[in-house]
Chains A and B, each alone.
Chain A
Amino acid sequence: MSATRPIRRLLVANRGEIAARIIRTCRGLGIETVVTVSEADRDSLPARLADRAVCIGPARATASYLDIGAVVMAAIGTGCDALHPGFGFLSERAELAAACAKAGIIFVGPRAETIRQLGNKIEARALAAAAGVPIVPGDNSVADFARAEAVAREIGMPLLFKAAAGGGGRGMKIVRSEGELRSAFETARAEAQAAFGDGTLYIERLISDARHIEVQILADRHGTVLHLGERDCTLQRRHQKIVEEGPASLVPAPLVARLRQAAVDLARSVGYENAGTVEFIYDQQRQDFFFLEVNTRIQVEHPVTEELTGIDIVAEQLRVAAGAPLTLAQEDVRLCGHVIECRINAEAAEAGFRPAPGRITRWKAPPQDFVRLDTHCHEGYVVPPFYDSMLAKLIVHGADRTEAVARAGAALEAFEIEGVETTLPFLRRLLARPEFASGAVNTRWVEAVVAEPSFFAPLPPARHPAAAEAAS
């Protein structure tokens, strides 16, 4: 256990809205900031907000934001005593945490060893099981049909065969009934053998009617592990979250309590430090949940939790990274109301969500009541083509879910962005769907509704009931 070291100057090793968001908290805490920029981001909002911007490389992320040497050297060269990796880029690379430790720079995140352990899916699954956290029923070493039959009988239908030796969908087969088991087994085994030289299969229960629920955790090196409640991130498209909300009011309360405890148990079992998220899949048919993975960093959707709890997660990250104990206790964490976050991307949703970089010619944010907007964008900003397409996160608070849904719809309706195509029209349609209001959705729902021919059909103005209500 090392001594407390104050953070006086922080390197923000990221870009976009998260860089701006981290700088904002540092200003409030009196911590100086240096932000890393690529050549494409020299004039970005984070570069102007930070006390200093340091150019670490060309626009190409592999030679700038993903270059561990350049990032750590930037921290050394500018006299920073700590580094915040944000999310994406290098945030879950154990090598970055290790390089910081070697250079005597505080890494704002878990220890390198924790990142490595939890970043390995097989190891993380084993750690979860060892901590008593439920894992998706299955078996990872099915070599013959007799074993496959036995496992299938145990976990039930439908199930999924995967190649034990690799990913990428090869050797993957869904089995919906016992009659299909043998042919699926033979096909999957042959594909796995051909693709990976190893016909060993992995069988897992297929949870087709699932919600994605994740628990925010916060831990210090003095043995305190807290949960800050959970978020429901069921609205996804190709594993990319689109809308996140909290608390998980559509999951039975006793299960939510167990989920939170499971997350704390897992974090405690690995001696977790700093902020993290334990992700679970929730089976709506069987009303059961299973561990998915741990994200060892701050997440895109952390504002949902901040708005629910009033806790500044970045400030807490900096506190525990400096070695100080958390001043919060579990009973201090209270979730107030309901919060919904929408990710607004520069994408043409109707054209298969094609990225749409370019110059923003008009930017009119919705009124600030009940709304938090995390963004690095403004009128005249040129969205570069080199990075992810997220422009802003619109976070809306309501006393309960019904009010939050209405306010989110109204805020989306009031938001005006011109010059680049955005997912605003898509989000307005999505949130206006009755399934969203009632909560009758699962992780495949967005892809299913987007595939409906009528989804993108033109609608009359003020089509959102909440917008009409707000306007009246």
Chain B
Amino acid sequence: MAASEVAELLRAFESSGFARLAMAIGPVRVAASRPLASDTAKEAHPDAVAVNAPVLGMFEPARASDGAPLARRGADVLTGTPIGVIRVLDALHSVTAGIAGTVVAVHAGDGAFVEFGAPLISVVPADAGVRGAP
């Protein structure tokens, strides 16, 4: 694998939505990672608070009757607003916002595998005096 190919690969990674890259072609191994989405949300919205996964598992967002996720970007959430459930084998753990405010970023999509403590959404608290996304 030529150096130019590695560079091309890293450019492709940079423009992708992925946070982590690991690949091996023959003896060549390439690994790259970038800041988590929650970190970039934090930059854009310094007041944003991440709602983290309380357990490791598969995330399924809670949806309104029209099928749209309750905690979508721009939506207002209350402390008790359901964010979704995390499936761990046969068990379901429900997650609520735990904070009132506006969702400025969604980090975990439908069916995403989330680690313990991984950010699910970022919320700018209603009492922060700053409104987030339009």
Give the B-binding residues of A (Cβ under 8 A). 39, 51-52, 54-58, 64, 69-70, 72-74, 77-78, 99, 103
Contact = CB atoms under 8 A, between A and B. Distances in A.
A229 B88 CA distance: 42
Interface in B16-42: 20, 22, 31
A70 B116 contact: yes
A272 B69 CA distance: 50
A50 to B, nearest CB: 11
B117 interface: yes
Contacts of B89: 69, 72-73, 99, 103
A57 B116 contact: yes
Contacts of B118: 55
Cβ-closest 4 pairs across A and B: A77-B113, A55-B115, A69-B88, A55-B116
Given A72-B89, A78-B113, A103-B89, A57 B58 contact: no
A71 B46 CA distance: 34
A58 B116 contact: yes
B91 A69 contact: yes
Given A70-B55, A70-B88, A72-B89, 12 more contacts: A39-B116, A39-B117, A51-B22, A54-B56, A54-B115, A55-B56, A55-B118, A56-B115, A69-B91, A73-B89, A77-B56, A77-B57
A57 B56 contact: yes
A108 to B, nearest CB: 19
A80 to B, nearest CB: 12
A73 B116 contact: no
Given A57-B116, A73-B56, A52 B91 contact: no
Contacts of B88: 69-70, 73
18 contacts: A51-B22, A51-B31, A52-B20, A54-B115, A55-B56, A55-B117, A56-B56, A57-B56, A58-B116, A69-B89, A70-B116, A72-B89, A73-B57, A73-B58, A77-B57, A77-B58, A99-B89, A103-B89
Nearest to B93: A69
A39 B57 CA distance: 16
Interface of B: 20, 22, 31, 55-58, 88-89, 91, 113, 115-118
A74 to B, nearest CB: 6
Contacts of B58: 73, 77
A57 to B, nearest CB: 5
Among A52, A73, A103: residue with most chain B CB under 10 A: A73
A70 B57 CA distance: 7
Given A69-B89, A69-B91, A99-B89, A57 B55 contact: yes
B128 to A, nearest CB: 27
A114 B118 CA distance: 37
Contacts of B57: 70, 73, 77
Nearest to A58: B116
A69 B91 CA distance: 8
A458 to B, nearest CB: 47
A349 to B, nearest CB: 35
B58 to A, nearest CB: 7
B113 A56 contact: no
Nearest to A103: B89
A454 B58 CA distance: 59
A77 B108 CA distance: 14
Contact of A74 (B22, B31, B56, B91): B56
Contacts of B22: 51-52
Contacts of A64: 116
Contacts of B116: 39, 55-58, 64, 70
A103 B20 CA distance: 26
A77 B89 CA distance: 10
A74 B118 CA distance: 13
Nearest to B22: A51
B56 A70 contact: yes
Contacts of A52: 20, 22
A330 B94 CA distance: 54
Nearest to B117: A55
A77 B31 CA distance: 19
Contacts of A103: 89
Nearest to B55: A70
